[in-house]
Amino acid sequence: MKRRLFLVPILCSLLLAGCGQGLKESPAEARQAAPAESSATQSATPASSGNEAAPAEPEAASSAAAGQDRSGAGQVAAKDSPVKAGIMPEQLEIPAIGVKAKVQSLGLTKDGAMDVPHNGDDVGWFKPGYRPGAPGHAVIAGHVDTKTSVAVFFKLKNLKKGNKVIVRGRDGEEIVFEVTGSETYPYDKAPLEKIFGPSDRPLLNLITCTGLYSKSKGTHQQRLVVTAELVS
């Protein structure tokens, strides 16, 4: 039950805090890519009441996730997970797009949005949620750009099904996920349960901003969510 508390209640409009600031002078690649995105899943963040919930216990994660994922195909039972309790992530590597980043453990902002790193190089794990490797949707977010350059998840949109995502833990553990797909959502309309909620499979959602940047709203118009499943 502990694991699900952070999803209730959920704010009507949940954003990644400072997900991307918009390039003042966009590189050619940035200018080309941003408008082309169909609707990036702006990751709405689950809010617990504005206070960061404690990290879920492995047992709680397993029980909350058991039997609750309705996607069906290719399910990996929780008992088959190589790391049943998940790991405390320290480093994220995505060879296909040249990402090798430090992972910060982050929670919610005072406005109830998922906090993100205050630099363009690191990524942030949503600590009140699931640990990578445990049954459930673990979430790691990163910036797509800064005011002056592209950021760590600028090429996240280029990931393809089958690409590997490697997460290394604080105690030297290494687990590998495989990309299964991606979706985009308007920044203020995203399926929180699907992104942050329970599952009977160990899943990892990688989130960043995408689409056009709105100066009036101070954010990109969509969020991109890339989903990967634990394979080893």
Query: Strand, helix or coil at 89?
Result: strand
For 42, residues 6+ apart whose C-beta sits below 8 A from its C-beta are 15, 16, 19, 185, 186, 187, 188, 190, 209, 210, 219, 220, 221, 222, 223, 224
Domains of the chain: 2-230 (2.40.260.10)
Beta bridge partners of residue 125, listed in sequence order: 105, 140
User: What pLDDT is attached to residue 83?
Assistant: 56
85 within 8 A of 58, measured Cβ to Cβ: yes
Whether residue 209 lies in the annotated active site: yes
pLDDT at residue 82 greater than cutoff 60: no
- Compute the mean pLDDT over every residue in the chain, rounded to the nearest whole number: 75
Task: Tell me the mean pLDDT in the region 189-204.
Answer: 94
pLDDT at residue 184 greater than cutoff 80: yes
Q: How far apart are CA 174 and CA 37, in angstroms?
A: 32
User: What pLDDT is attached to residue 9?
Assistant: 36
Q: How far apart are CA 25 and CA 112, in angstroms?
A: 31
pLDDT at residue 111 greater than cutoff 60: yes
12, 19, 118, 143: the catalytic one is 143
Task: Tell me the mean pLDDT in the region 113-135.
Answer: 95
Terminal Cα-to-Cα distance of the chain (whole angstroms) = 27
Please give the angle made by the CA atoms of 70, 113 and 87, to the nearest 5 degrees.
60
pLDDT at residue 35 greater than cutoff 60: no
Q: How far apart are CA 20 and CA 88, in angstroms?
A: 25
pLDDT greater at residue 73 or residue 6: 6
Find which of 39-43, 60-64, 139-143, 145-149 is predicted with most confidence, using mean pLDDT.
Answer: 139-143
User: What pLDDT is attached to residue 110?
Assistant: 87
User: What pLDDT is attached to residue 159?
Assistant: 98
Q: Of 16-25, 98-107, 121-130, where does mean pLDDT reach its minimum?
A: 16-25
pLDDT tens, residue by residue, 199-225: 999 999 999 998 888 787 777 878 999
pLDDT at residue 31 greater than cutoff 50: no
Query: Strand, helix or coil at 192?
Result: helix
Structure confidence at residue 20 as a pLDDT band (50, 70, 90): low
What proportion of the chain, given as a percentage, has pLDDT over 70? Answer: 64
Single-letter amino acid, residue 195: I
12, 19, 137, 209: the catalytic one is 209
Question: If you search the block for the tokens 């209730």, which residue do you land on?
Answer: 8
Residue from 65, 50, 51, 81 nearest 3 by CA: 65
Structure confidence at residue 177 as a pLDDT band (50, 70, 90): very high
User: What pLDDT is attached to residue 174?
Assistant: 98
Whether residue 19 lies in the annotated active site: no
Cα 191 off chain centre by: 13
Q: What is the dihedral of CA 146, 20, 118, 160, to 10 degrees?
A: -100
Rg (CA), the chain: 16
